[in-house]
Chains A and B, each alone.
Chain A
């Protein structure tokens, strides 16, 4: 066996290792129900949940509580299946949070609470935003 063949084999082995580990460690997009059942069955991996903020009839975001230290807050999110869940976030409210049309939270359940470690926002494209301060 030539050295180059060994090298190729090693490279392939490492590449496969990377692929396998990536698919093992990859998080998933799920609903709150599934996230809860994953958590109660002992899977503590962080997962992604996609949803929207809870709003009243006039489109104002409701259910936001500011943490005592003002560097944390919690909010109510409705996932794609329609389930409502209070989400705690141990950091200040991200910029444009209230304007977001879609929210992705990354985190896990601790008991009945969902603790987000990261929040991603999808904001309306600037061409869709038709408000201007005259």
Chain B
């Protein structure tokens, strides 16, 4: 038992909590006192406090990682989320697998951001860090795991809890309190994917960065510097928008690539909860930029920045309090933190709103009505559209919360989130997307040109013409005939064209300012990519044989799926497609090995090589033990066209405990479309055991014979002195036949063994699963120099696949990258601006 490390971790947690409170108090004092000497004193204290806090947070992270990396399974966290077989990178991801760990990740990022802020911004340090430290205190309280004496209620859920304390009723701990499990529960195989390593840190960095603009905004209101907070906050808002957007899209890409939901976005409450704050953040960025240029939209900026942060807290509440329990496919374990999360949410909601209301009259605003031909007007319309877009998602996503509130005041509501979420949300979001698309096209012209009615016409003529031509081409070639999609296409093309024009003129004059144009081009491309890939996704694995796969399957299943027998090519999507056999994935080599080359052992994750073989430059020797991912089976499927071959490895996880089949797709990417392929039915492991009756044939060495229609040759018979799994005594005899079988794809070898042990004959048959063949050396006839071979055959290996075509999905990913690039350019510009002002002594 390693008690020390857990106690240390717990100490770090408590330290981080207390230091954050101390820091908040010191910085609060530093903000409010007027005496310069005292101010410096408190400022110094605050800084020291935050350093100590950051060190404690780092301490927590290291401690937990030590526990995970050393497999201290006496700790609940290590037991529950890791096991000994996980490679290092998944051990790192174990860190944020549990809720406590994800709070820690959040704490960590914010501590880091706090340190950066302390060092970049002296003027705002005290008020901004007050807010920061308070938020840190709330987050740290989530992992405190301290029981308040007297009240009996627990604050937070500690990641350093011992397994026996977490499972105090488990009989094993009643009997032996010192019991330590030998291995942990491991990481859900579905999550064993590189996205699990990079997606959560990105998303939580996105969450953490929304705190920065919020802190500046609160500091601005507090210090009555209503206008000055925008400058330092803007680069951070852009950074946050980029990182949060990237995090959301990574989640989408992950779902698309491995989770086999068939799409990248499902409008699940968990996804929606992050999508909405991102929309308001983007709206906030727009109003902040407007303010920087024309001193309008200050109030809107304040509202939107506060809203974004509160929505992040609300998202945290939704996803972690268990309130979505009946509404989301993502299952959350309720740690009993609902109350604490609510306090966290309401504290900042009430404080921020109260502060804003208190200062509202003092906030300068322009009395002048914005002209219809001004950029401020159009940007404001854009921000409003983004907010309504978010509102349309937020309202139904919150239905479980409405029910709770109604229940609280005695009304029973049985409302539920719309059953078909994708159709429901898409119907609205599509129209908002059209408006966003058109606005980001037109808006850019207003932004860069002082424009009146006539000039607008002049400016827009060329882009509109180009748009119409490109649009006509896309609609015709892409066969877009649904009117909603036609309109969305128009909006997308218009945005791309307008912003390309702006970009070209900007590149000549001032490329540093091109962030907006680039970002909006990305948005246009994303709209087109989404429209095509979602609206025109179609099943291509149509059963073209005219025969049903099985009468037990439904009509739909028989129509939309393709049955592939091993080594028998079919055609699909203009390609020859062929199933080449089941594959296994070694843990330590990045290759797939043939299931037929290895023998299973008692351990699911270990196999033994039957013979020497080399795959992808890695050589495995006969009788080598190979570590594999035992839960995974891959199906090698080859696509061929014009003499070129591509290989897909869709995956299946056969889980007898769950009685089900979990499948992950593999994607064949071409420029114009993705071929999204997954297996939809596979052989049961027991199915390989239904053999035909034994057929006997006598052959001589070198003689050809037929088995299951394959040409076979008995190559040699040799005496062997070692037989796997059999203890041979000096008087025992074992011989091995070597039989070559000419398969469609090169030669296979079967090596059945005949042995006489303790004067009893024994036979060890060998199987060539690819060919559905089992050969047994039955007997030796020395008098005729013949050998009796037994042949069993069975149905060949097969797999049923389903494949979908996702046209132009690359436009979505490309658009995403372009959007991120746009954010990057804009951020660089604002950081420069900030540095310049700082150099002048303004910050």
Interface residues of A (CB under 8 A from B): 2-4, 7, 11, 14-15, 18-19, 21-23, 25-30, 45-48, 50, 64, 66, 68-71, 73, 92-98, 102, 104, 106-108, 117-118, 120-123, 125-127, 129-134
A132 to B419, Cβ gap below 8 A?
no
Q: Which residues of A contact B660 (CB under 8 A)?
A: 70-71, 73, 92-94
Given contacts A7-B384, A46-B420, 16 further A-B contacts (CB under 8 A): A22-B392, A46-B418, A66-B659, A69-B800, A70-B682, A71-B681, A73-B659, A97-B658, A98-B657, A120-B325, A120-B326, A120-B327, A121-B331, A132-B163, A132-B167, A132-B170
- CB within 8 A of B334: which of A21, A94, A106, A125? A125
B193 close to chain A: CB less than 8 A: no
Q: Which residues of B contact A7 (CB under 8 A)?
A: 381, 384
- CB within 8 A of A129: which of B167, B335, B336, B384? B167
Interface residues of B (CB under 8 A from A): 80, 163, 166-170, 172, 179, 181, 188, 190, 325-329, 331, 333-336, 369-370, 372, 377, 381, 384, 388, 391-392, 395-396, 399, 414-420, 424, 428, 550, 552-553, 557, 655, 657-663, 680-682, 684, 800
A95 and B419 in contact (CB under 8 A), knowing A120-B326, A126-B80, A134-B179?
A: no
Q: Give the CA-CA distance A102 to B181 in the complex, in Å.
A: 29
A70 to B419, Cβ gap below 8 A?
no
Q: Which residues of A contact B327 (CB under 8 A)?
A: 104, 120
A117 and B420 in contact (CB under 8 A), knowing A68-B553, A93-B659?
A: yes
- The residue of chain B having its C-beta at the shortest distance from the C-beta of A26 within the complex is B415
A18 to B428, Cβ gap below 8 A?
yes
Q: Which residues of B contact A22 (CB under 8 A)?
A: 392, 395-396, 418
Q: What distance in Å separates the Cβ of A29 from its nearest Cβ neighbour in chain B?
A: 4
A47 to B681, Cβ gap below 8 A?
no
List 22 contacting pairs A-B, 8 Å CB cutoff, sorted by A.
Answer: A18-B388, A18-B395, A19-B395, A22-B396, A22-B418, A28-B415, A28-B416, A29-B326, A29-B415, A29-B416, A64-B659, A69-B550, A69-B557, A70-B684, A71-B660, A94-B660, A95-B662, A104-B326, A118-B419, A120-B328, A125-B334, A134-B181
- The residue of chain A having its C-beta at the shortest distance from the C-beta of B163 within the complex is A132
- The residue of chain B having its C-beta at the shortest distance from the C-beta of A28 within the complex is B414
B166 to A127, Cβ gap below 8 A?
yes
B329 to A18, Cβ gap below 8 A?
no
Pick the 9 closest A-B CB pairs, nearest first: A46-B419, A68-B552, A92-B660, A93-B660, A27-B416, A48-B416, A130-B169, A29-B414, A27-B419
Q: Which residues of B contact A46 (CB under 8 A)?
A: 418-420
Q: Give the CA-CA distance A73 to B655 in the complex, in Å.
A: 14
A92 and B661 in contact (CB under 8 A), knowing A18-B388, A26-B417, A122-B326?
A: yes
- The residue of chain A having its C-beta at the shortest distance from the C-beta of B169 within the complex is A130
A134 to B172, Cβ gap below 8 A?
yes
Q: Which residues of B contact A30 (CB under 8 A)?
A: 414
A107 and B553 in contact (CB under 8 A), knowing A18-B395, A71-B681?
A: no
- CB within 8 A of B419: which of A23, A48, A69? A48
Q: Which residues of A contact B681 (CB under 8 A)?
A: 69-71
A48 to B326, Cβ gap below 8 A?
yes
Q: What distance in Å separates the Cβ of B418 from its nearest Cβ neighbour in chain A?
A: 5
Q: Give the CA-CA distance A19 to B396 in the complex, in Å.
A: 9
Q: Which residues of A contact B550 (CB under 8 A)?
A: 68-69
Q: Which residues of A contact B188 (CB under 8 A)?
A: 95
Q: Which residues of A contact B381 (CB under 8 A)?
A: 7
A47 and B326 in contact (CB under 8 A), knowing A11-B388, A18-B395, A69-B680?
A: no
- CB within 8 A of B417: which of A3, A27, A121, A125? A27
Q: Which residues of A contact B163 (CB under 8 A)?
A: 132
Q: Which residues of B contact A25 (CB under 8 A)?
A: 396, 418, 424
- CB within 8 A of B333: which of A126, A132, A133? A126
A96 and B181 in contact (CB under 8 A), knowing A46-B420, A122-B325, A126-B166?
A: no
Most chain A CB within 10 A, of B391, B392, B414, is at B414
A92 to B388, Cβ gap below 8 A?
no
B181 to A132, Cβ gap below 8 A?
yes
Q: Give the CA-CA distance A27 to B167 in the complex, in Å.
A: 38
A132 and B172 in contact (CB under 8 A), knowing A2-B369, A46-B419?
A: yes
Q: Which residues of B contact A11 (CB under 8 A)?
A: 384, 388
- CB within 8 A of B372: which of A3, A117, A121? A3
Q: Give the CA-CA distance A22 to B396 in the complex, in Å.
A: 6
Q: What distance in Å separates the Cβ of B328 from its nearest Cβ neighbour in chain A?
A: 7
A131 and B170 in contact (CB under 8 A), knowing A106-B419, A107-B419, A122-B326?
A: yes
Most chain A CB within 10 A, of B391, B657, B660, B663, is at B660
Q: Which residues of B contact A21 (CB under 8 A)?
A: 428
Q: What distance in Å separates the Cβ of A102 from its nearest Cβ neighbour in chain B?
A: 8
B391 to A18, Cβ gap below 8 A?
yes
Q: Give the CA-CA distance A64 to B396 in the complex, in Å.
A: 33
Q: Give the CA-CA distance A47 to B557 in the complex, in Å.
A: 25
- CB within 8 A of B391: which of A15, A48, A50, A96? A15
Q: Which residues of B contact A26 (CB under 8 A)?
A: 396, 399, 415-418
Q: Which residues of A contact B552 (CB under 8 A)?
A: 68-69
A93 to B658, Cβ gap below 8 A?
yes
Q: Give the CA-CA distance A74 to B190 in the complex, in Å.
A: 23
Q: Which residues of B contact A69 (CB under 8 A)?
A: 550, 552-553, 557, 680-681, 800
- CB within 8 A of B369: which of A3, A73, A106, A117? A3
Q: What distance in Å separates the Cβ of B656 from its nearest Cβ neighbour in chain A?
A: 11
Q: Which residues of A contact B682 (CB under 8 A)?
A: 70
Q: What distance in Å separates the Cβ of A14 from its nearest Cβ neighbour in chain B?
A: 5
A70 to B661, Cβ gap below 8 A?
yes
- The residue of chain B having its C-beta at the shortest distance from the C-beta of A93 within the complex is B660
Q: What distance in Å separates the Cβ of A15 from its nearest Cβ neighbour in chain B?
A: 6
- The residue of chain A having its C-beta at the shortest distance from the C-beta of B330 within the complex is A120
Q: Which residues of B contact A102 (CB under 8 A)?
A: 326
Q: What distance in Å separates the Cβ of B783 from its nearest Cβ neighbour in chain A?
A: 51
- The residue of chain A having its C-beta at the shortest distance from the C-beta of B190 within the complex is A95
Q: Give the CA-CA distance A107 to B416 in the complex, in Å.
A: 12
A130 to B170, Cβ gap below 8 A?
yes
Q: Which residues of B contact A2 (CB under 8 A)?
A: 369
Q: Give the CA-CA distance A96 to B658 in the complex, in Å.
A: 7
Q: Which residues of B contact A92 (CB under 8 A)?
A: 658, 660-662
Q: Give the CA-CA distance A118 to B269 in the complex, in Å.
A: 14
- The residue of chain A having its C-beta at the shortest distance from the C-beta of B172 within the complex is A134
- The residue of chain A having its C-beta at the shortest distance from the C-beta of B185 within the complex is A133
